[in-house]
Structure 1
């Protein structure tokens, strides 16, 4: 700020009692300046820019060996934090200020006034050390807390996985089947050829359960009951519902009712989305539209060879199934 740009002949500037916190104005053009009075302001710690402005009046060539005089009395100078170290060092080294004659003091870390002298730098060094030391402790504690939190979450996840597998091994009530695989009968060829074997084999491997009933398919509904009634019973005996969402599946009201029932009883649903099957949202029920927003989802995409491939691994699918079982 060129506050005194038109006053190059000033020899005294009195800015006392002006609530100044920093020296924001240029001084290097004031070759005749003898006194800069900053008494009784709100200066605590001068920043690098302020000290640079003040140093500039010392560097102006003069005809004699006199230096301009800076008056800082009446300011509540601070030496309570490590940030004050550079400022206190500057006060002790500058030739435009006589600390002794002005009896300058600063507020230390205990809130007490102390005379500014060389020993003040030693006190600040200790403050800086303890600040750094405390910062290291805080960072270490935070890091340990994060590690413990991660370990705790992981331990809970492992324990939950163990309990789920034990329940599936017993196979009572909703744990009769780990998952019910629901798909349209016209998608049977794709499901049997690309989906069932990989899912069953990997789930047996992950759980170490040799049970054919781990995965139940909608195609396996026992005769003697209506499709919807029997499939609804299987939903209740399954821990998770896996919906193979093709265009035919999404437009069939039978499966819409099954998905609606699963949502109503809070059954976890995992979506296998068959990309490129021509799903048209206009012909879907609101339940099926809601189904397409379900997460987690695993997408099957058509590759260049014309085959559909899942964009993840069977292990990831099986881990997701076990994590979602309540």
Structure 2
């Protein structure tokens, strides 16, 4: 019975053919004896041999080798039999009987078979072994048939496909047959070859594949439909390839590459130069237990991490992550505390050989976060952070304490320096407040004392008003009368409290003596300073006496005064003490302050 393979628009190299389809074409055989010998069958160039590799099968186009004894096919076995001179041989079949024996193919066993296009190995009962590169270099081979080799569960084809193998388009359908050994395969290894492109759909009904290893090739594109029938696959390794080319050029295909692998438990796509992972890449792989993304160029966990609830190992070592990133810390914490089974306590993440900065105080929070969450990480003791001088430092509680101490040291120094200054400033401020309070209290006491004195002593005046005769009209109308009125109100008396020379000098008495007498009877001297006042000798003598007697003097000015004509004693007082100012507005003079303020100031001055 023959079984068929349908290949549409595809050219399949022999080595890749093994990985994807097997043709069953097996006749029932028996091991009648263990004799060795060869003979031609008919006129078709078929040479049939029992338990021996024929010597120089000249003229044969097909060689059938039936084995009933152990056969060890060594390196160059066919060269020693002079097969290199055979020009037309295209088909070799090696088979055994129902009792079976074991055949082992060593590296370069096929040397000398220069034109072979098909090799059938049918071992229905027994076993077969071969070196990793046993089929490497068979450049003319188009078909490798392992049908009816029922014992095969693991097939290793490492180091066999060289020179770059690509399938650019097409689809492959494998029909199910009872004798087709392909359905019993569970593990297929195609490591260390030069597979480049697998751009076709693979249709395998009732696939039993559990492990597929495509690592250490140069794969830069795989059509997502290649995995569409491998629903039973539990482990897939594509480490050490070039999937970043696919990611950058065909992002959507990469994002759906593993969507059909619903039972996938272990996935290794390490060392593929991957710069990022699209968000929904692993959305359908909710049963993933181990995911290896190490050795890429990732800087963020861009995929939906929370969909991988059963994940127990995520290896992202040797990437470009910066663990100081707050967003990355948030993603890790959210997965460990919210997404996976809360009863799981074992670590998940391997972040070794990624960047962790600890050179300044702003990195302290990251170090503290790592220490508090050390249970999240595999190989946590191997994590290293980059210090101030670029050296790699071990992360532990002792390092955190030293970093924290270094960060607090400037604060402690500042506090040690500032505390004495703060103490002095506080003491000064306290003394100043006490001084101000005492002074205010003294002013209040003075005010009460002056009011009581003015109420009981009829010869006492609150103010002596001094001015030039040229300013009499202004002073009498605008100053003397309102000032006296406001003082009377505050002191609560009807008698006059403001005295002046024109009003209170006794007649026939020395002017100077009278001025001295009135100033002595007054608590405060108020001087109306104008240009006329500054040029008057008598006015100047009043000022001199008041200052010499320590009488409080309040200067009152109208308009601008020429400071150049002020006597030095007046100029000094003018610049040192506050004064009463009159302003002219629309031909009228208005007091810049209030009469209440003027009166209270007069009563509070000692």
Q: Secondary structure at the match of 1:222?
A: coil
**Structure with the largest fraction of strand:** 2
Where do residues 243-262 of structure 1 align in structure 2 (5 Å cutoff)? 243-262=527-546
Alignment match, 2:447: 161
Partner Cα distance (1:293, 1:198) in 2: 27
- Per the TM alignment, residue 151 of structure 1 is displaced from its structure 2 partner at its CA by 6.0
Partner Cα distance (1:282, 1:155) in 2: 39
Partner Cα distance (1:266, 1:281) in 2: 23
Runs of 4+ displaced beyond 6 Å: 69-72, 145-148
| 2:498 corresponds to which of 206, 215, 231 | 215
Per-residue CA distance 1:48-107 (angstroms, 9 max, x = gap): xxxxx9837xx9xxxx953347698xx9x9xxxxxx8x765432214655544x743637
Alignment match, 1:91: 367
Per-residue CA distance 1:217-266 (angstroms, 9 max, x = gap): 12121112111121012112211100011221111001111111111111
Tell me if 1:298 matches 2:573. Answer: no
**Structure with the largest fraction of helix:** 1
Q: Secondary structure at the match of 2:401?
A: strand
Specify whether residues 55 and 190 from structure 1 end up closer, same or farther in structure 2 by C-alpha distance, changes over 3 A only: same
Alignment match, 2:596: 315
Alignment match, 2:324: 55
Q: CA RMSD in A?
A: 4.1
Where do residues 75-154 of structure 1 align in structure 2 (5 Å cutoff)? 88-94=364-370, 96-97=384-385, 99-100=395-396, 103-104=398-399, 106=401, 149=434, 154=440
- Per the TM alignment, residue 271 of structure 1 is displaced from its structure 2 partner at its CA by 0.9
8 Å CA contact 1:199–1:318 kept in 2: the answer is yes
8 Å CA contact 1:269–1:294 kept in 2: the answer is no
- Per the TM alignment, residue 269 of structure 1 is displaced from its structure 2 partner at its CA by 0.5
- Per the TM alignment, residue 194 of structure 1 is displaced from its structure 2 partner at its CA by 1.1
Tell me if 1:236 matches 2:512. Answer: no
Specify whether residues 199 and 91 from structure 1 end up closer, same or farther in structure 2 by C-alpha distance, changes over 3 A only: same
Alignment match, 2:87: none
Specify whether residues 187 and 171 from structure 1 end up closer, same or farther in structure 2 by C-alpha distance, changes over 3 A only: same
Tell me if 1:181 matches 2:468. Answer: no
Partner Cα distance (1:290, 1:92) in 2: 67
Aligned length: 222
Q: Secondary structure at the match of 1:55?
A: coil
Tell me if 1:197 matches 2:478. Answer: no
Q: Secondary structure at the match of 1:92?
A: helix
Partner Cα distance (1:321, 1:54) in 2: 74
Specify whether residues 208 and 90 from structure 1 end up closer, same or farther in structure 2 by C-alpha distance, changes over 3 A only: farther
Partner Cα distance (1:152, 1:254) in 2: 38
Specify whether residues 189 and 103 from structure 1 end up closer, same or farther in structure 2 by C-alpha distance, changes over 3 A only: closer
Partner Cα distance (1:252, 1:320) in 2: 27
Alignment match, 1:28: none
- Per the TM alignment, residue 186 of structure 1 is displaced from its structure 2 partner at its CA by 2.3
Query: Which runs of no fewer than 5 residues in structure 1 stay unpaired?
Result: 1-30, 32-52, 78-83, 112-137
Alignment match, 1:285: 567
Specify whether residues 148 and 189 from structure 1 end up closer, same or farther in structure 2 by C-alpha distance, changes over 3 A only: closer
Q: Could you state the TM-score of these two structures normalised by the residue count of structure 1?
A: 0.56
8 Å CA contact 1:256–1:287 kept in 2: the answer is no
Alignment match, 1:275: 559
Q: Secondary structure at the match of 1:259?
A: helix
Query: Which runs of no fewer than 5 residues in structure 2 stay unpaired?
Result: 1-296, 298-321, 329-349, 371-382, 386-393, 406-422
Partner Cα distance (1:154, 1:166) in 2: 18
Specify whether residues 224 and 317 from structure 1 end up closer, same or farther in structure 2 by C-alpha distance, changes over 3 A only: same
Partner Cα distance (1:295, 1:289) in 2: 10
- Per the TM alignment, residue 210 of structure 1 is displaced from its structure 2 partner at its CA by 3.0
Alignment match, 1:38: none
8 Å CA contact 1:177–1:238 kept in 2: the answer is yes
8 Å CA contact 2:524–2:552 kept in 1: the answer is yes
Structure showing greater Rg: 2
Alignment match, 2:62: none
- Per the TM alignment, residue 297 of structure 1 is displaced from its structure 2 partner at its CA by 0.7
Partner Cα distance (1:322, 1:195) in 2: 17
